[in-house]
Chains A and B, each alone.
Chain A
Amino acid sequence: MTDRIQLPSIAPAVESDAVVRARALARLRWVSAGLIALLAAVGARGVQLSLLPSERTLRTAAVQRWDTVTHRARRGQVFDRNGHRLAISVATPNVLVDPTLVGASEVAGLATRLSDLLGLAPEVVAQKLSLKSRYQRLALRVHPAVAAEIGAIDHPAIWVERETRRYYPEGTLAAHVLGFVDADDDGREGIEAALDRYLRGGVVLEQRRRDRRGMNVDDPSPTTEPNAGMDVHLTLDRSIQRITEHALARAMERSAPLSASAIVVHVPTGDLLALANAPTFNPNELTDDALSRRNHALQDAIEPGSVFKPFTIASALAEGVVRPDTLVNCEGGTWFVGRSRIRDDHPSGILSVSEVLSQSSNIGSAKIALEVGADVLIGYLRAFGFGEETGLGLPGERSGFVRPADRIRPIELATTSYGQGVTTTPLQLAMAVAALGNGGILMKPRLVTRVEDVHGVPEVVQQPEAVRRVVSKDIADAVIDMMETVTEPSGPAPLGAVSGYRVAGKTGTAEKVEDGRYGDGRIASFVSLVPAEQPVLAIVVTIDEPSVGSHYGAQAAAPVSSEIAAGSLRYLGVPPSGGGAVDPLTQIKPEVPREELRVAWMGDGWQMPDLSGRLLRESVRVLEPAGLELTLRGSGRVIQQTPIAGTKVPAGGHVSLVLR
C-alpha cells in the first residue's frame, strides 16, 4: 500500500536527437520544396504577364504611356514661273502651357518670368496660368531665342512646340493671287484655298512615350517630314507682277480711286503673268480690312463701257455685216432707239467703222450691233467668254452678265454693244482682248503650270489650253489695226502709248450704277495689246472711281497700262516694234516652261539629272535637296558626272563631278 498515487506521466517521452534530426531533414525537404514551388509559381505568373499580357493591359498602357500627336506636315511651297518662292512654310515656336500643372503659389513667379520673356503683361499671363484648362496658348510665333529661354525654365506645365508657319517672302506681292492660310494652316483665299488639297501637308501621326505627368520621355519629333504638301508653280512672273503693282500704287496716288486692278496676260498661252489689285494687303500680317483682300480683277463684275466696242465690231466684221471702211452715220451725237435716247460724248457725223472704234462712238456701235442682230452678237460675246467664268480656279470668280439673245430689247442690244447693261470681270476682258491678239483664239487663263510632290514628281501639269476660235485671224488683226489708232498721238488715248512699241488699245469710261440708275461714279479702264504687230502681252487696267484729276480711261487708266507695258516689254527683252517682233516668252520658254533641273526620288533611288555644262553653284543647288555626298574636281562648268544622267543613286549615295 502506498499513499502516493501513481499518476501517468503527462510529460511525453523525450525523443532522441537522431529521431528529431531525421524528421527535421524530411520536413526540411518538404518545406523547401513547397517554398521553391511557390516561388517558381509566382515567377511563372510574372513571365506570363511579360510575354502574354492581356488585351486590357496593353490598352491601358497605350492610353497612358503613349502620347499620340497628330500634326500637319509642312505645307507645300508656291513658286513663280522662274522658281522664285512666293509662299513658304517655316517652323516657328509656339509657347504653350498646361495651367493644371501650375501650383497656385507658382503663378506669380512664373507669370513674371514669362511676361518678361514674351513681352506680355504679367496680369494676362497670370490669368492664363490660373485657368482651369489643360491647354493654353501663351504666345504664338515667338523668336527662336525666346523659345530657347522659355525651354530653359524647365517647368512641366510649360512647353514649346514647333509649328510650321506660312510665310510670304515677297510680302504684299501677288497677295490676291496667293491668298493666305488661317491659324490652322488651312488655305483661306487665293491659290492657298484653291489648291489647298495639294498644298496642305498630310497628317503625321507621331507617337511619343510620356511619363505620368504627360511629359515626353523621348526626344520628340522626327526631323523628316514624309507627308509634306506639294509645291505649286505659277505662271506669274515676279518681276512683271512687281512692275504691275508699282504702276497700280502710283495710280492710287495719282487718282485716289476706291480701287484699281491690272492683269497682264501672255497672249499666245493665256498665262497670267501678273494680276494685281490696289489696295492690297500683306498676307504675313493679316488685318480685319476685308476690302483690301478683295480680288477685284475677278471678283468684281462691272459694266465694261467702251472697252467692249472692239468685240462688237469684231463680231460685225466676222459676220460680214460691215467692213472697216463701211460708213456709219453717227447722227451728230444723239439718236433714239425706240423711245430711248443714246448719246456720244464727242458728237460726230459720218464715221468709218474704224473711226467708230477709235472715236468711241456709242451711236455707231449701237447701229452696227442692231445690224448684226441679237442672236449673232450675243453669240459672239459669249464666244469671247463673257457671261461665264473663265475657269481660272481662284475662289470667288464672277461670271458677269450678258442678256440672253431671246430676251433682249433693241435698246438693250444697243447699249450692250458699248458695254452698258452687261457686266464682265477684268479677267474676262483680259482674256477676250488676248484672244484678239492671239489670232482670234480664246485661251483659257492659266495660273498654275504644275503641282509637284517633294521629290519633284509632278501631280498635276497644266498645258496652255485653247477654248475656241472666236473670229478668224484676219478679223482679229483688223480689229487690232483699228485699236492701234487709239494710242496714236492724234488718237484719243496717246497716254496709252509705249515708246518704241506699237500699242493697240481701247479706253473705257463706264458709268457706275448707283441705286439702280447711272450716277456720277466712273470706272476708267484701258485694254491693250503690245506689241501691236505681234501681241505678246494683253493688259487690262481698271480704276474704280478716280477721285482726283480726270476720270476718263484715256487719262486715268491708259498711263498705268503704258507703264506696265513699258516695264514688262523691257524686262522680257521684246525687241522694239519695226525690228521684227519676237516673243521672248515663246522663244526662250516654249508653252511649258523649261524643265527645271531636279534630282527626283524614284522610289528606289535619286534620278540623276544631266548636269553637263552647269555651273558649280547650280549643280550644288540641284543636288542639295537629295542629301547626296558630293565630290568635286576642278572649277567652272561640269564636264563629267558620275553616275551619269538618268541613272539612280541610292539615298545618301555619292556623286562626283569634274568641272572645267
Chain B
Amino acid sequence: MRGSAAASHPAQERSGGWDWQLLILTSLLVLFGLLMIQSAGSWRSDRLYGDPLHFVTRQLLGLGVGAVAAATVIMAPYRLLRLLAWPAYVGSLLLLLLVVMTPLGHSAKGATRWLSLGGVTLQPSEAAKLALIVVLADYLANNRGRLGDVVGVGLPGLGLLLPMMVLVIFQRDFGTTLILLGLAGVLFIVAGLRWRYVVGGLSTGLALLASLIAIEPYRVRRMTSFLNPFVDPGGSGYQVVQGWIALATGGPFGVGLARGVAQQEFLPEAHNDFIIAVIGEELGAVGFVAAVGLLLLLVRRSFQIACCAPDLFGMLAAAGIGAMFAAQSIINIGVVGGCLPTKGLVLPFLSYGASAAVVHMVSIGVLLKIWMESQLQAARPPDRRPRAGEG
C-alpha cells in the first residue's frame, strides 16, 4: 500500500521505515494522557501521597518501561515476536496465578487484580490481554486454513483462552474477562471461523454473561444502576452521576485545566477510569471529542496496519491490538456514558495505570514492527518475498 515511499529510500530498507502516523498518534495520546493525569490527579495524589506528581511520575515510569520494551521488539527480528508469544502467554498465566493463589495478590476497590512485588504493583491482567493476542495469533496463523476443523483446531484455540479467563474471573475482573473473550472472538473471526460458530460463540458468551450475573449478585446491582444512575445516585449510580455532572459542567469548552471540581473528591476514579469525564469537564466537549477522535484514529490505524501485514500472524496480532484499544475505549467511555455497567477498564494512554501503560506501549511496538516488516517485504522483489502467512 505504502511500500513505494519506503522503497525509494535505501537507508530505510533495513528497518522498514517508521509509521509516522502511528507514532504521532501515540505521542499525542501519551502527552494528552500525561497532561490530564496531572490535571485530574494532582489534587488527589497530593492528598493521598503528599506528592502532586505521584500519578504522573508512575505513569511516566510505565511509559518508559513500555517504550524500552517496544524498542526491543522493534530491534529484534520479526519472527522473534512469534517465538516470544508462548513464553509471554505462560508468564502471564503464572502472574495471574500468583495474584489468585498467593498472598502477593493485592486487593483494592473490591477486586484482587494487583500483584505486589517489592513495592512495585503490577496488574497482570493487562499483560494477559496482549499475551493472549499474540499467542492466539501465532496459533491461528499456524493453523491457517484449517479452522473448519472445530475439534482439532477451534477447541484447542479456545483452550488457550479458558485458563486465562478463569483466572481473571477469579480476580472478579469482569471487564477484562469480557475483553479477553472479545479479543479471542475477533481473532477467530478474522482468522476465518465459520459464521455459525461465531453465532454459537456469541450465544455461549451471552449464556456465560447471564450465569455470571446469576452467581455474582453485586453485578446485578450494577446492572440495574447503570441505565439510570439516578435510581441510586449516592450508591451504585454515584460515579456515573458524578461523571455526567462533570461533563455537563464542562459544556462546550470546559472550565479549564486543573479547574475541574469532579476530580476533587467527587470522582474517586477521576485520574483513571473516569478520566474522560474530567477531560469533558476541564476541556469541554471539544476536549472530549479530541480524545475520542485520537482513540478512533489509533484504532483505525491499527486495523490499517493489520490489513497490510506481511503474514496472517501480523494481521491477527495487529487486529487484536486494534480491537483491544477499541474495546477498552468503548467500554470505558460506555461506562461513563451510562451505556454499560461499571467495569474498571482504563482508557488507553489517557487513564492512569502503569501496567496498562507498559502493555499499551509494547502493543504500539508490535504494531510498528508489523508495519516495518510489511514495508520491508513490499520493498523486496516479489520472488524473494515469503508467502503470506508464513513467518
Give the interface of A toward B (CB within 8 A): 11-12, 14-21, 23-25, 27-29, 31-32, 35-36, 38-40, 42-43, 45-47, 49-51, 53-54, 56-58, 60-61, 64-65, 209-213, 217
Nearest-neighbor residue (CB-CB) of A30 within chain B: B189
Taking a contact as CB atoms closer than 8 A, the residue among B145, B306, B315 that contacts A15 in the complex is B145
Nearest-neighbor residue (CB-CB) of A21 within chain B: B388
Interchain CB contact under 8 A, A50 and B323: no
Q: Does B7 contact A (CB under 8 A)?
A: no
User: Which 4 A-B pairs give the minimum distances between C-beta atoms?
Assistant: A53-B248, A212-B265, A32-B303, A43-B292
Interchain CB contact under 8 A, A51 and B266: no
Q: Which of B26-34, B146-154, B163-171 contacts A (4 or more CB under 8 A)?
A: B146-154
The contact sample of 18 A-B pairs, CB cut-off 8 A, is A11-B149, A17-B388, A21-B315, A24-B191, A24-B312, A31-B303, A35-B322, A35-B323, A36-B296, A38-B330, A40-B296, A42-B339, A46-B280, A47-B288, A47-B289, A50-B247, A50-B252, A56-B230
Say whether, besides A28-B307, A35-B322, A39-B299, A46 and B288 are in contact (CB < 8 Å).
yes
Query: Please, which residues of chain A bring their CB within 8 A of the CB of B362?
Result: none
Interchain CB contact under 8 A, B264 and A211: yes
Query: Please, which residues of chain B bring their CB within 8 A of the CB of A65?
Result: 245, 249, 261, 266
Query: Please, which residues of chain B bring their CB within 8 A of the CB of A16?
Result: 145
Interchain CB contact under 8 A, A39 and B326: yes
Q: What 6 additional pairs, Cβ within 8 angstroms, besides A11-B146, A50-B247?
A: A17-B388, A28-B303, A57-B248, A60-B233, A61-B245, A65-B249
Nearest-neighbor residue (CB-CB) of A40 within chain B: B296
Taking a contact as CB atoms closer than 8 A, the residue among B152, B192, B244 that contacts A24 in the complex is B192
B187 to chain A, nearest CB (A): 10
Taking a contact as CB atoms closer than 8 A, the residue among B189, B241, B261, B266 that contacts A31 in the complex is B189
Q: Which of B286-343 contact A (CB under 8 A)?
A: 288-289, 292-293, 295-296, 299-300, 303, 306-307, 312, 315-316, 319, 322-323, 326-327, 329-330, 333-334, 336-339
A53 to B191 CA separation, bound complex (whole angstroms): 43
Taking a contact as CB atoms closer than 8 A, the residue among B152, B306, B333 that contacts A42 in the complex is B333
Q: Does B344 contact A (CB under 8 A)?
A: no
A53 to B241 CA separation, bound complex (whole angstroms): 11
Interchain CB contact under 8 A, A50 and B285: yes
Q: Does B128 contact A (CB under 8 A)?
A: no
A49 to B248 CA separation, bound complex (whole angstroms): 6
Nearest-neighbor residue (CB-CB) of B329 within chain A: A39
Q: Does B36 contact A (CB under 8 A)?
A: no
Interchain CB contact under 8 A, A42 and B337: yes
B342 to chain A, nearest CB (A): 14
A196 to chain B, nearest CB (A): 39
Say whether, besides A20-B145, A28-B307, A51 and B292 are in contact (CB < 8 Å).
no
A53 to B288 CA separation, bound complex (whole angstroms): 15
A41 to chain B, nearest CB (A): 8
Taking a contact as CB atoms closer than 8 A, the residue among A25, A46, A210, A211 that contacts B276 in the complex is A46
Taking a contact as CB atoms closer than 8 A, the residue among B190, B244, B323 that contacts A49 in the complex is B244
Interchain CB contact under 8 A, B264 and A212: yes
Query: Please, which residues of chain B bring their CB within 8 A of the CB of A32?
Result: 299-300, 303, 306, 319, 322, 326
Interchain CB contact under 8 A, A43 and B190: no
B42 to chain A, nearest CB (A): 14
Q: Does B235 contact A (CB under 8 A)?
A: no
Taking a contact as CB atoms closer than 8 A, the residue among A21, A35, A39 that contacts B389 in the complex is A21
B interface majority secondary structure:
helix
Say whether, besides A31-B186, A212-B266, A24 and B333 are in contact (CB < 8 Å).
no
Q: Does B82 contact A (CB under 8 A)?
A: no
Query: Please, which residues of chain B bring their CB within 8 A of the CB of A27?
Result: 189-190, 192
A59 to chain B, nearest CB (A): 10
A17 to B141 CA separation, bound complex (whole angstroms): 10
Interchain CB contact under 8 A, B190 and A15: no
Interchain CB contact under 8 A, A24 and B241: no
Query: Please, which residues of chain B bring their CB within 8 A of the CB of A49?
Result: 244, 247-248, 280, 337
Interchain CB contact under 8 A, B265 and A50: no
Q: Which of B243-291 contact A (CB under 8 A)?
A: 244-245, 247-252, 261, 264-266, 276, 280, 284-285, 288-289
B184 to chain A, nearest CB (A): 13
Query: Please, which residues of chain B bring their CB within 8 A of the CB of A46?
Result: 247, 276, 280, 288, 292, 333, 336-337
B111 to chain A, nearest CB (A): 23
Taking a contact as CB atoms closer than 8 A, the residue among B248, B264, B276 that contacts A58 in the complex is B248
Say whether, besides A46-B247, A46-B276, A17 and B264 are in contact (CB < 8 Å).
no
Say whether, besides A49-B337, A65-B266, A43 and B247 are in contact (CB < 8 Å).
no
Report which residue of A35, A58, A212 has the largest number of chain B beta carbons within 10 angstroms of its beta carbon: A35
Query: Please, which residues of chain A bring their CB within 8 A of the CB of B233?
Result: 60
Query: Please, which residues of chain B bring their CB within 8 A of the CB of A19?
Result: 145
Q: Does B196 contact A (CB under 8 A)?
A: no
B258 to chain A, nearest CB (A): 11
A171 to chain B, nearest CB (A): 47
Q: Does B144 contact A (CB under 8 A)?
A: yes
Nearest-neighbor residue (CB-CB) of A23 within chain B: B192
Nearest-neighbor residue (CB-CB) of B327 within chain A: A35
A43 to chain B, nearest CB (A): 4
A29 to B322 CA separation, bound complex (whole angstroms): 12
A17 to B190 CA separation, bound complex (whole angstroms): 13
Query: Please, which residues of chain B bring their CB within 8 A of the CB of A51?
Result: 251-252, 285
A49 to B334 CA separation, bound complex (whole angstroms): 12
Say whether, besides A21-B389, A36-B299, A211-B261, A61 and B333 are in contact (CB < 8 Å).
no
A65 to B249 CA separation, bound complex (whole angstroms): 10
Q: Does B387 contact A (CB under 8 A)?
A: yes
Query: Please, which residues of chain B bring their CB within 8 A of the CB of A56?
Result: 230
Q: Which of B207-241 contact A (CB under 8 A)?
A: 230, 233, 241
Interchain CB contact under 8 A, A57 and B244: yes
Nearest-neighbor residue (CB-CB) of A12 within chain B: B148
Say whether, besides A15-B192, A50-B280, A42 and B330 are in contact (CB < 8 Å).
yes
Query: Please, which residues of chain B bring their CB within 8 A of the CB of A53?
Result: 244, 247-248
Interchain CB contact under 8 A, A28 and B190: yes
Interchain CB contact under 8 A, B245 and A36: no
Nearest-neighbor residue (CB-CB) of A11 within chain B: B149
Interchain CB contact under 8 A, A42 and B280: no
Interchain CB contact under 8 A, B249 and A61: yes
Query: Please, which residues of chain A bring their CB within 8 A of the CB of B316?
Result: 24
A294 to B16 CA separation, bound complex (whole angstroms): 101
Query: Please, which residues of chain A bring their CB within 8 A of the CB of B288?
Result: 43, 46-47, 50
B139 to chain A, nearest CB (A): 14
